[in-house]
Chain A
């Protein structure tokens, strides 16, 4: 493989990760506030279909992306209403929405199957795109890819460097304490869930109007992306930068699967495509195993030096969710 093809491949990886980036950023914000939006898989499909349909009928790509965000926000609003106001199980509501939105997208998207439609064009940035290597990698992408870079950056700054971001951490970790300090916990949870939902809703059009332009229904290969994004959120430890790394790693592995196809001809292509899933389980195992009781017990029985080494390694990998994730908040 020449350097040129590798560069194009890697630039493609950055673009291919865009929908997952948006989904993961949205889910991270939502879960940071304490609400799991499990509907993601359905939301992405429905916003992909809806965004494409709107862009096709209005011939306006921007409207397509905006309607995807609107769909995501509306689905998230249902999750928020059911879980915050009605105090029903977030997992149950989210799961039902994941399946219902998926089927709804297949049902409503039927007339748009395989119809050629508008597609976002690449937008090279003058001067920057001429920088050797970096230019080809980062600055010859389309607009939505640039926005995805910005989203990672902004989400990180917002959560860790701003006052409202600190409050956001508070309502997910210790809602009672945040309440005492004057935060309207449930309102903030509504806001972040809906904003998070809008970001998740960007993921759909990022497929149907950019990297996999068009709507192909059940054979579009989008079914499952939402579940992957959900596990990448955990892998990312609710940290936008680490989550983005997970999303890029996933896109890279999928690309590698394609590249290695000619090498492992006896392995069916469908098998290589699912290679990320066992890896996903393994990584979840690595980031969680430090939280289990039996590991702690074994660590406690080890001689000092070995224990320090092991617990350091485990701590480096370990992530723990926001303490109040999935727990309804009552002010009384």
Chain B
């Protein structure tokens, strides 16, 4: 009974219980009621249409990043640099907007160009990590991390330097674009159905590429056994580069959505940590694309719901990160226990 798919499900359920148990203990240790905290987080994300729209706003970049990471994970790469790729996507998008603001082009065309520019920017930034990995022998984790810090510095340099607001530059970002350069929003909510649509297209496309194409099959072959794939005649390093470029483009799209649909300008923390969070989602779903949508939605809901914690309970909102991390950690551990003790039996 513990062996099949049901067994795997059972172990994941146990991991879930452990994660919530762990976080509940932490809450009790600071004299807070776990039930109240979970309830506030739930109503904070699903309590009203407006709050749920906020969840979707967070869901869009998270899903795009996760989609991209499924590609790099498939080819066996740990693209930790995804965070910087989101940032560069946002920078490139802002650059295109600024370039065409006064051009008289139709706003719809400018927005399209800006999003494409963002994807290109993300892909370009990812290619740096790829080139460092393929031609420089620099592990993608370290190359990517270094470039993440560089991308943050670049954002701050642009906001305080060349793109600063007339008068005083500030942490509030660059000058907001006029309203017509925003992706159309739904009613008076902050969510854009266009952004949601792009994110869903992104994950469906990745699912299709990985499951239904020869390209995806070879990509996975490279990830499973680099050397065997090479000996079989698959151009391995080219495939590594392709997967960096695809992931970078999707991460860049996430950055583009942050600019074109949410902030309408460049701000210092434009990526909001969605790159790292996407890595967690990808690990939690064990790199299977079908689960990306529900789990990314759940993680986005935790992020938005936790905003209520400081207001209602005087707790730090980083509790969502602890819960997300505990979930991934216990699922990893449960999978390890299952492999070690159940499969052998």
Query: Chain A 93-105, CB within 8 Å of chain B: the 1/0 string?
Result: 1011101111110
Least CB distance, B153 to chain A, in whole angstroms: 4
**Cβ-defined contact, B135 with A292, below 8 A:** yes
**Tally of chain A residues near chain B (CB < 8 A):** 51
Query: Chain A 281-301, CB within 8 Å of chain B: the 1/0 string?
Result: 100110011111010000000
Most chain B beta-carbon contacts within 10 A, residue among A81, A100, A267:
A100
**Cβ-defined contact, B336 with A274, below 8 A:** no
**Cβ-defined contact, A99 with B136, below 8 A:** no
- A280: chain B residues within 8 A (beta carbon): 142, 146
**Cβ-defined contact, B153 with A270, below 8 A:** yes
Least CB distance, A246 to chain B, in whole angstroms: 13
**Cβ-defined contact, B146 with A96, below 8 A:** no
B283 within 8 Å of A (CB atoms): yes
In the bound complex, CA of A108 to CA of B319 (Å): 9
**Cβ-defined contact, B147 with A107, below 8 A:** no
**Cβ-defined contact, B329 with A288, below 8 A:** no
**Cβ-defined contact, A284 with B332, below 8 A:** no
In the bound complex, CA of A284 to CA of B141 (Å): 12
A309 within 8 Å of B (CB atoms): no
**Cβ-defined contact, B340 with A86, below 8 A:** yes
Smallest Cβ-Cβ distance to A99: which chain B residue: B325
**Cβ-defined contact, B329 with A88, below 8 A:** no
B88 within 8 Å of A (CB atoms): no
**Cβ-defined contact, A88 with B335, below 8 A:** yes
Interface of B (DSSP majority class): helix
B36 within 8 Å of A (CB atoms): no
Binds B, one of A13-21, A159-167, A224-232: A224-232
In the bound complex, CA of A153 to CA of B329 (Å): 36
B61 within 8 Å of A (CB atoms): no
User: Contacts A227-B145, A268-B160, A271-B157: A93 and B332 contacting too (C-beta < 8 A)?
Assistant: yes
**Cβ-defined contact, A100 with B322, below 8 A:** yes
**Cβ-defined contact, B136 with A100, below 8 A:** no
In the bound complex, CA of A106 to CA of B315 (Å): 10
**Cβ-defined contact, A91 with B78, below 8 A:** yes
**Cβ-defined contact, B149 with A234, below 8 A:** no
**Cβ-defined contact, A110 with B315, below 8 A:** yes
**Cβ-defined contact, A88 with B333, below 8 A:** yes
Least CB distance, A178 to chain B, in whole angstroms: 23
Least CB distance, A322 to chain B, in whole angstroms: 14
- B318: chain A residues within 8 A (beta carbon): 103-104, 106-107
Beta-carbon contacts under 8 Å, A111-164 to B: 111
A308 within 8 Å of B (CB atoms): no
- B319: chain A residues within 8 A (beta carbon): 103, 107
User: Contacts A106-B316, A289-B137: A95 and B146 contacting too (C-beta < 8 A)?
Assistant: no
- A227: chain B residues within 8 A (beta carbon): 145, 149
- B146: chain A residues within 8 A (beta carbon): 231, 277-278, 280-281, 284
In the bound complex, CA of A78 to CA of B319 (Å): 20
- B80: chain A residues within 8 A (beta carbon): 95
Beta-carbon contacts under 8 Å, B21-73 to A: 26, 29-30
**Cβ-defined contact, A103 with B136, below 8 A:** no
Q: Which of B136, B320, B325 contacts A96 (CB 8 A)?
A: B325
**Cβ-defined contact, A82 with B325, below 8 A:** no
B328 within 8 Å of A (CB atoms): yes
**Cβ-defined contact, B276 with A284, below 8 A:** no
Most chain B beta-carbon contacts within 10 A, residue among A96, A234, A289:
A96
A58 within 8 Å of B (CB atoms): no
B156 within 8 Å of A (CB atoms): yes
**Cβ-defined contact, B26 with A108, below 8 A:** yes
Residues of B that sit less than 8 Å from A by CB: 26, 29-30, 78, 80, 132, 135-139, 141-143, 145-147, 149-150, 152-153, 156-157, 160-161, 276, 279-280, 283, 315-316, 318-322, 324-326, 328-329, 332-333, 335-337, 339-340
List 25 contacting pairs A-B, 8 Å CB cutoff, sorted by A.
Answer: A38-B141, A86-B339, A87-B339, A93-B329, A95-B78, A96-B325, A96-B329, A100-B329, A101-B325, A102-B321, A103-B318, A103-B322, A104-B322, A106-B316, A107-B316, A107-B318, A227-B149, A230-B142, A231-B146, A268-B157, A270-B152, A271-B157, A277-B147, A277-B150, A292-B136
Which 7 residue pairs across A and B have the least CB separation, nearest first? A86-B336, A100-B325, A103-B321, A288-B137, A274-B153, A106-B318, A103-B318
